[in-house]
């Protein structure tokens, strides 16, 4: 069993002050939140080495994961990232200025536009995804592989009907 942590101290304090409360969920979500914050900070540093932040990474990674020719409509991008069209447009403007994506008219819809990952964008996202994964793996390196898989399975189960949000 792991050593006591800050979440344990919070749970102990609530147990003393409000013994009528079941703090099991607080312990779970407190640790998830802390782990996500630590991982987010470390991954953000890894992306910064490639000149991008999380917001830019999300766009580039969505295009990269779409497979050749690495292009999507702005609406498909926004839907995949759960963003408003305005938020997506701002990200695309920055990435286009940096030469990482290119907008072009849709060949099938006169009003439509397609966003394509440029070669430079593909190079950046390929490096950034590897660096980000290396940081995540480093953060879990103290766990045996079977425990990391078990943790992943438990979190999937906990997400249940909320998994696609």
Question: How are beta strands 71-72 and 101-105 bridged, if at all?
Answer: unpaired
- Asked, for residue 72, whether it belongs to a domain, the answer is yes
pLDDT at 132: 97
> pLDDT exceeding 70 applies to what percent of the chain?
98
> 128-137, pLDDT tens digit by residue?
999 999 999 9
* Bond into 69 cis (ω within 30): yes
Give, in order, the Cα–Cα distances in Å from 102 to each of 40, 42, 70, 89.
Answer: 28, 29, 11, 12
- Asked, for residue 131, whether it belongs to a domain, the answer is yes
**Beta bridge partner(s), residue 117:** 101
pLDDT greater than 90 at residue 59: yes
Looking up residue 48, the CATH number of its domain turns out to be 1.10.10.10
- Asked, for residue 152, whether it belongs to a domain, the answer is no
pLDDT band at 86 (very low <50, low <70, confident <90, very high): confident
Q: Which whole number is the average pLDDT over 96-114?
A: 90
- Asked, for residue 158, whether it belongs to a domain, the answer is no
| Torsion (CA) 36, 41, 43, 44 in degrees, nearest 10 | 130
Distance CA 154, CA 3 (A): 21
Q: Which whole number is the average pLDDT over 6-32?
A: 96
- Asked, for residue 78, whether it belongs to a domain, the answer is yes
- Asked, for residue 151, whether it belongs to a domain, the answer is no
pLDDT band at 1 (very low <50, low <70, confident <90, very high): low
| Structural domains counted in the chain | 1
Segment holding 47, helix H or strand E: helix 24-48
Distance CA 151, CA 15 (A): 26
Distance CA 103, CA 154 (A): 41
- Find the domain containing 40 and state its range: 28-136
Distance CA 126, CA 64 (A): 8
pLDDT greater than 90 at residue 111: no
3-class DSSP assignment, residue 53: coil
- Asked, for residue 40, whether it belongs to a domain, the answer is yes
- Asked, for residue 70, whether it belongs to a domain, the answer is yes
pLDDT at 161: 86
């Amino acid at each position: 069993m792991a050593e006591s942590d800050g979440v344990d101290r919070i749970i102990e304090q609530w147990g003393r002050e409000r013994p009528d409360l079941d703090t099991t969920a607080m312990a779970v979500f407190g640790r998830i939140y802390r782990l996500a914050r630590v991982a987010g900070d470390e991954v953000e540093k890894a992306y910064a080495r490639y000149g991008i932040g999380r917001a830019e990474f999300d766009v580039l990674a969505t295009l990269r994961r779409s497979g050749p020719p690495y292009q999507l409509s702005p609406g498909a991008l926004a839907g995949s990232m759960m963003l408003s069209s305005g938020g997506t447009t701002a990200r695309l403007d920055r990435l286009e200025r940096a030469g990482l994506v290119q907008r072009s008219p849709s060949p099938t819809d006169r009003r439509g536009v397609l966003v394509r990952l440029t070669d430079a964008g593909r190079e950046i996202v390929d490096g950034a995804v590897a660096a980000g994964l290396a940081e995540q793996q480093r953060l879990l390196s103290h766990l045996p592989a079977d425990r990391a898989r078990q943790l992943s399975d438990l979190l999937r189960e906990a997400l249940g009907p909320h998994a696609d949000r």
